[in-house]
Amino acid sequence: MYRYVLNLNVQSNGDYEVHKEGCYKFPITNIKELGNHLNSESAIKAAEAEYPHLSIDECIHCAKPCHTR
């Protein structure tokens, strides 16, 4: 299992990114802890459940299969 967080700083395209611990882009401030998950899909679902009004995507460096934009 991996620790995931949601970066609460909006990206230039309007997305908020989910990061896995260990990513070189892992934010240390202005984050929401998402807890431990088996994969990024689970972490993204948790973020979307808590923030349904935000456009949430996975960091391309953390989990390319889940990155959509």
**Any idea where the domains of the chain sit in the sequence?**
2-66
Asked whether 50 and 61 are in contact (CB, 8 A), the reply is no
- Summarize the confidence of residues 55-68 as an average pLDDT: 75
Question: Would you say 51 and 6 are in contact if contact means Cβ atoms under 8 Å apart?
Answer: yes
Tokens found for residue 16: 């908020």
Residues 13-40: tens digit of each pLDDT: 999 999 999 999 899 999 999 999 999 8
Q: CA 4, CA 21: separation in Å to the nearest integer?
A: 6
> pLDDT at residue 9 above 70?
yes
Portion of the chain with pLDDT greater than 90, in percent? 75
Quick check: 68 pLDDT over 80? Answer: no
Q: Tell me the chain's radius of gyration from C-alpha atoms.
A: 10
- Write down the pLDDT at residue 66: 54
